[in-house]
Chain A
Amino acid sequence: SQTIHQWPATLVQPVGSPLSLECTVEGTSNPNLYWYRQAAGRGLQLLFYSVGIGQISSEVPQNLSASRPQDRQFILSSKKLLLSDSGFYLCAWSTGGGEGYTFGSGTRLTVV
């Protein structure tokens, strides 16, 4: 069966520090991968998606970047965090068949 792992679960980082969140999927190959953010009191905002290794599409201009170094690995990064980067970050995967996503358990990021 397919599983998705996302870590860490919580993270407190100072403003200006770098960020690296990792997501891996098991039990499937060539998944579509996604990074979403849920800011306080807001919905789920799509940040990045990837349909293959090295292929990244950015949905909104921001202080973050994403990379997909391996088929089932998706990384969210920042060189210098801002206070506004605080939120709940979710990784998700799909087969691309339109049936929806399977989400990871999320990372609560607090920038202080």
Chain B
Amino acid sequence: DQQVKQNSPSLSVQEGRISILNCDYTNSMFDYFLWYKKYPAEGPTFLISISSIKDKNEDGRFTVFLNKSAKHLSLHIVPSQPGDSAVYFCAANSGTYKYIFGTGTRLKVLA
């Protein structure tokens, strides 16, 4: 049972435009969410987080939106840059020791 889903395995966006990566979850007990960015042959690196008490969190070009009623979160990257090309994972936690990760979305930013 996949509790965290990223239904788009890949996404291509023109440089300078907005990238929107989506993530859905099924467990209503999840209360903390993260986005990670992963380059090939490297470990994922933390990008941005959001707590369930918020519906938006911004960090520079990156904004995460959380819709608790829809059990949906999204990552917006504006403007997109070629260096943003990577695999993006969302992850969710319900106050336990472990995060549940989605299957990832491969973003390709075209120059």
Contact = CB atoms under 8 A, between A and B. Distances in A.
Contact of A34 (B6, B98, B103): B98
A81 interface: no
A42 B103 contact: yes
B46 A100 contact: yes
A100 B99 contact: yes
Contacts of B83: none
Contacts of B34: 100
B4 to A, nearest CB: 8
B66 to A, nearest CB: 15
Q: Interface extent on A, as a size class? A: 20 to 34
Interface in B80-107: 89, 91, 93, 95, 97-104
Closest 6 A/B residue pairs (Cβ): A103-B43, A43-B103, A44-B101, A100-B34, A106-B43, A105-B43
Interface of B: 6, 32, 34, 36, 41-46, 49, 89, 91, 93, 95, 97-104
Interface of A: 6, 9, 32, 34, 36, 42-46, 49, 51, 59, 88, 90, 92, 94, 96, 98-106, 108
